[in-house]
Amino acid sequence: MGYPDGPDAESPIAEDVEPDPASVARAIVLRQLTSSAKSRLQLARKLAERNIPEDVAEAVLDRFQEVRLIDDADFADMWVRSRSQSRKLAKGALRRELSDKGIDADTAAAALEQLSDADEEASARLLVERKLRPGTDLSDRGERDKITRRLASMLARKGYQPSQAFRVVGEVLDARAASQDGNQPDL
Which is nearest to 100 in space by CA: 120, 83, 88, 116?
83
**What mean pLDDT do residues 169-178 have?**
91
Asked if residue 187 has pLDDT above 70, the reply is no
**Domain closes at, from 6, 35, 70:** 70
Cα–Cα distance for residue pair 75/81, rounded to 1 Å: 10
Residue 26 resides in a domain: yes
Average pLDDT of every residue of the chain: 89
pLDDT band at 183 (very low <50, low <70, confident <90, very high): low
- Say yes or no: 66 and 121 in one domain: no
**Dihedral of alpha carbons 156, 88, 173, 160, sign:** positive
Residue 105 resides in a domain: no
Which is nearest to 139 in space by CA: 127, 151, 147?
147
Amino acid identity of residue 152, one-letter, is: A
* Phi, psi values for residue 120, rounded to 5°: -65, -45
- The whole-number pLDDT of residue 15 equals 56
- Say yes or no: 187 and 120 in one domain: yes
- Say yes or no: 124 and 178 in one domain: yes
Domain boundaries, position 144? 116-187
Whole-model pTM: value is 0.78
Residue 148 in contact with residue 177, Cβ under 8 Å? Answer: no
- The whole-number pLDDT of residue 72 equals 97
- Say yes or no: 128 and 185 in one domain: yes
- The whole-number pLDDT of residue 131 equals 93
Q: Which helix (H) or strand (E) holds 146?
A: helix 141-157
- The whole-number pLDDT of residue 186 equals 45
Cα–Cα distance for residue pair 58/100, rounded to 1 Å: 19
- Say yes or no: 126 and 187 in one domain: yes
- The whole-number pLDDT of residue 96 equals 96
Residue 140 resides in a domain: yes
**What mean pLDDT do residues 40-53 have?**
96
- 126-139: per-residue pLDDT in tens? 999 999 988 777 88
Residue 100 resides in a domain: no
Asked if residue 63 has pLDDT above 80, the reply is yes
Residue 38 resides in a domain: yes
Structurally, how many domains does the chain consist of? 2
Mean pLDDT check: name the lowest of 16-20, 49-53, 108-112, 162-166: 16-20
**Dihedral of alpha carbons 44, 46, 51, 52, sign:** negative
Residue 155 resides in a domain: yes
Residue 151 resides in a domain: yes
**Domain closes at, from 6, 41, 70:** 70
Asked if residue 104 has pLDDT above 50, the reply is yes
- Say yes or no: 121 and 66 in one domain: no
E-state strands within the chain = none
Cα–Cα distance for residue pair 131/88, rounded to 1 Å: 13
3-state secondary structure at position 142: helix
Cα–Cα distance for residue pair 185/68, rounded to 1 Å: 64
- The whole-number pLDDT of residue 16 equals 64
Mean pLDDT check: name the lowest of 4-8, 46-50, 73-77: 4-8
Residue 16 resides in a domain: no
**Domain closes at, from 38, 70, 102:** 70
The CATH number of whichever domain residue 47 belongs to comes to 1.10.10
